[in-house]
Amino acid sequence: MKYMQTGGFQKNPLMRLTIGLTLLFLAGLWLTNLLIFTSKMDLSVASIATYYRGSEADFIVARSYDSMLEVSHSHLPMMAIVILLLTHLLIFAPFSDATKTAFIVGSFATAFLNEASSWLIRFVSPGFAVVKLACFLGFQAVLLFLIVSLAWFLYTSARGERRAQRD
């Protein structure tokens, strides 16, 4: 924990290894998230609305309350933990406070609205499919930025540490 509080994890090769491998797994999360989404619907508002609300013409059953509740039950804590980890590490990265704040708020907001919009599409209006699409793409973009920028930060920290040891 000391390394997380002081930012010293950049100097500890085992912490960099652990965080780097965690980022590798989170890159897999990013990819599978995209693949699961696009395997069930395409990136169109109509397809998203049909997935949640169903279609009698196409014999597609609407998502049930119970199935949506199960998905939310697993997504909400998982996304909170993933975003907490990534945004916590972002605090130590060499970005401005405004950039850090934007990505912290953006990641939590897009993740929450992505989940909430599913419920809104199903039980309020298919018009919320626009929100779902925007938040899904926004969350994927934020998540990709966090994973790549933190991996780059770890890589450059390791290079700087090796350079300092040689000098």
According to the model, what pLDDT value does residue 143 have? 97
Q: How far is CA 69 from CA 38, 75, 129, in A?
A: 21, 10, 18
Query: Residue 120 — very low, low, confident or very high, per pLDDT cuts 50/70/90?
Result: very high
Is 157 within 8 Å of 16 (Cβ atoms)? yes
Site of tokens 């998203």:
48
Mean pLDDT, residues 46-71 taken together = 95
Domain ranges of the chain: 2-161
According to the model, what pLDDT value does residue 166 have? 63
Give the relative orientation of helices 97-123 and 45-53 as an angle to the nearest 10 degrees. Answer: 50
Mean pLDDT, residues 91-115 taken together = 95
In 3D space, the residue among 4, 89, 83, 74 whose CA is nearest the CA of residue 36 turns out to be 74
59: left (phi over 0), alpha (psi -120 to 50) or beta: left
DSSP state, 96? -
pTM for the structure as a whole: 0.86
Angle at Cα 35 formed by Cα 18 and Cα 130, nearest 5°? 110
